[in-house]
């Protein structure tokens, strides 16, 4: 999307915010819509969908004839599957930013609802890929206190409801704050995240060990955070891990 279009969408989002919260209008274009805090069909269709991507890390792929990117082909990541809905591009990046840094929790419900619709459709087509439970990537205690909510958990709620899956809320914790991930090169981000998570409860449902867990986060950049948690979850005995992320940055940085 062009810079001009980006700033137009951003201005539009800001201007429309208070207005669309109260009235039944599309959040992005202000056309009348069925309910508050939603998108009209043309705006929903115009979102930056990811398209064909690597099965294990969701990096976009140019050709439909391959299912794994060169990186996953040469060294398998800890997760077995990854599903992302959007590219991290306008207006998804701005909606996520509004959710995280301006407490627009309703945006999280909207985005989680879009993800839920996508995942429901996917698992209807591929029931053999279905996980049994969800873990939202936890924030450190300090960051959770600062923000007041975990955006990944907000996103996970409509998904859990739509897919009828439990969210394991206290199953794991993030041990420490990590420096802003974007400021570090990919190799350092992975080092930075080693042992960042601990499993704090047995990963089971009604006494039965869980074989397949889905981990959800808002944005997958290098994938280092989700991969670190995937590794920890597998170490605790889970056989299969699927990653869900609302948005994917297009390149391994």
As measured in angstroms, the least distance from the Cβ of 56 to Zn ion is: 5
Q: Which of 1, 12, 17, 29 binds Zn ion (CB under 5 A)?
A: 29
Residue 83 and residue 121: Cα distance in Å, rounded? Answer: 12
- Residue 72 binds Zn ion (CB under 5 A): yes
Of 29 and 163, nearer to Zn ion (C-beta) is 29
Q: Which residue has the tokens 């140019």?
A: 62
Q: Is 17 in the site for Zn ion (CB under 5 A)?
A: no
- Residue 40, interface with Zn ion (CB under 5 A)? yes
Q: What's 11's DSSP letter?
A: H
Only one of the segments 47-55, 154-162, 176-184, 206-214 lies at the binding site for Zn ion (rule: CB under 5 A); that segment is 47-55
Q: Does 57 bind Zn ion (CB under 5 A)?
A: yes
Q: Does 50 bind Zn ion (CB under 5 A)?
A: no
Question: Does 69 participate in binding Zn ion (rule CB under 5 A)?
Answer: yes
253: CB partners within 8 A, 6+ apart: 185, 186, 221, 222
35, with CB counted inside 10 A (0-12, 13-18, 19+), is exposed
Q: Kind of pairing, strands 212-220 and 133-136?
A: parallel
Residue 28 vs 92, nearer CB to Zn ion: 28
User: On the CB side of 166, how many CA atoms lie within 13 Å of its CA?
Assistant: 11
Give contact residues for Zn ion (rule: CB under 5 A). 26, 28-29, 31, 40, 43, 54, 56-57, 69, 72
């Amino acid at each position: 999307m062009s810079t001009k279009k980006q700033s137009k969408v951003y201005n539009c989002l800001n201007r429309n915010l208070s207005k669309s919260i109260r009235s039944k209008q599309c959040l992005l274009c202000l056309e009348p819509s069925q309910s508050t805090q939603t998108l009209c069909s043309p705006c929903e269709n115009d979102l930056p969908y990811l398209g064909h991507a690597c099965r294990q890390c969701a990096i976009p792929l140019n050709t439909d004839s391959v299912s794994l990117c060169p990186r996953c082909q040469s060294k398998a990541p800890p997760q077995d599957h990854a599903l992302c809905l959007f590219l991290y591009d306008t207006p998804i990046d701005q909606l996520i930013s509004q959710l995280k840094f301006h407490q627009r929790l309703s945006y999280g419900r909207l985005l989680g609802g879009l993800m839920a619709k996508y995942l429901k459709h996917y698992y209807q087509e591929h029931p053999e890929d279905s996980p049994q439970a969800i873990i939202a990537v936890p924030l450190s205690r300090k960051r959770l206190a600062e923000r007041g909510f975990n955006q990944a958990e907000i996103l996970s709620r409509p998904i859990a409801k739509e897919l009828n899956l439990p969210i394991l809320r206290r199953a794991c914790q993030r041990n420490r704050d990590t420096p802003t991930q974007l400021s570090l090169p990919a190799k350092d981000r992975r080092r930075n995240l080693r042992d960042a998570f601990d499993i704090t409860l047995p990963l089971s449902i009604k006494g039965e060990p869980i074989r397949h867990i889905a981990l959800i986060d808002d944005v997958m950049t290098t994938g280092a955070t989700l991969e670190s948690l995937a590794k920890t979850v597998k170490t605790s005995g889970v056989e299969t891990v699927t990653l869900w992320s609302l948005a994917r940055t297009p390149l391994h940085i």
